[in-house]
Amino acid sequence: MEFVASDKSCLTWSGDCLVIGLSEESLPLTGILADLNRQCSGLLQELIDESEFTGKADSTAVIRLGGDAAVRKLGIVGLGGSDELSLERLRRAAASAARLAKKEKCATLGISFPVWNNSPALTTQSLVEGSLLAMHQDSRFKSEPEKSKVELETVHLLEQVGQTAAIEKAQKICAGVILARELVAAPPNVVTPAKLAETAAEIAQAHGLSVEILERDDCEKRGMGAYLGVAQASDIPPKFIHLTYQPSGTPKRKLAIVGKGLTFDSGGLNIKAGAGSSIEMMKIDMGGAAATLGAAKAIAQLQPDVEVHFISAATENMISGHALHPGDILTASNGKTIEVNNTDAEGRLTLADALVFANQLKVDAIVDLATLTGACIVALGNDIGAMFTESRDLAKSLMTAAETTGEKLWQMPMEEKYFEGLKSVVADMKNTGPRAGGSITAALFLKQFVNKETDWAHLDIAGPVWTEKESGYDNPGATGYGVRTLVQWVLANS
CA distance 20 to 106: 15
**CB 445, CB 429: distance < 8 Å:** yes
* 216 included as an active-site residue: no
379 contact choice in ligand BES, Mn ion, Zn ion, none (CB below 5 to 8 Å, kind-dependent): none
Chain centroid offset of residue 351 CA:
19
CA distance 112 to 159: 7
Query: Closest Cα partner for 353 from 218, 223, 451, 197?
Result: 223
Is residue 159 at the binding interface for Mn ion, with CB under 5 A as the rule? no
Residue 176 carries which side chain, given as an amino acid letter? G
- Which of these is catalytic: 89, 260, 272, 297? 272
With CB under 5 A as the rule, give the number of residues binding Mn ion: 3
* Binds ligand BES by CB under 6 A, chosen from 16, 88, 316, 346: 346
Contact letters for ligand BES, residues 452-471 (x by CB under 6 A):
----------x---------
* 272 included as an active-site residue: yes
Between 17 and 313, CB nearer to Mn ion: 313
Query: Closest Cα partner for 419 from 439, 438, 445, 449?
Result: 445
Is residue 16 at the binding interface for Zn ion, with CB under 5 A as the rule? no
137: three-class secondary structure by DSSP: coil
CA distance 91 to 108: 19
Is residue 265 at the binding interface for Zn ion, with CB under 5 A as the rule? yes
Residues in the chain: 494
Between 225 and 421, CB nearer to ligand BES: 421
Is residue 345 at the binding interface for ligand BES, with CB under 6 A as the rule? yes
The secondary structure of 175-240 as a DSSP string is HHHHHHHHHHHS-TTTS-HHHHHHHHHHHHHHHT-EEEEE-HHHHHHTT-HHHHHHHTT-SS--EE
Q: Report, in Å, the least distance between residue 361 CB and ligand BES.
A: 25
Is residue 285 at the binding interface for Zn ion, with CB under 5 A as the rule? yes
Is residue 344 at the binding interface for Mn ion, with CB under 5 A as the rule? yes
With CB under 5 A as the rule, give the number of residues binding Zn ion: 4
Q: Report, in Å, the least distance between residue 430 CB and Zn ion.
A: 17
Please list every residue from 334 through 353 that binds Zn ion, using CB under 5 A: 347
* Binds ligand BES by CB under 6 A, chosen from 6, 124, 371, 404: 371
353 contact choice in Mn ion, ligand BES, Zn ion, none (CB below 5 to 8 Å, kind-dependent): none
CA distance 211 to 206: 12
Under the rule (CB under 5 A), what is the footprint of Mn ion?
A: 265, 344, 346
Binding site for ligand BES (CB under 6 A): 265, 278, 285, 342, 344-347, 371-375, 432, 438, 462
Catalytic positions:
272, 348
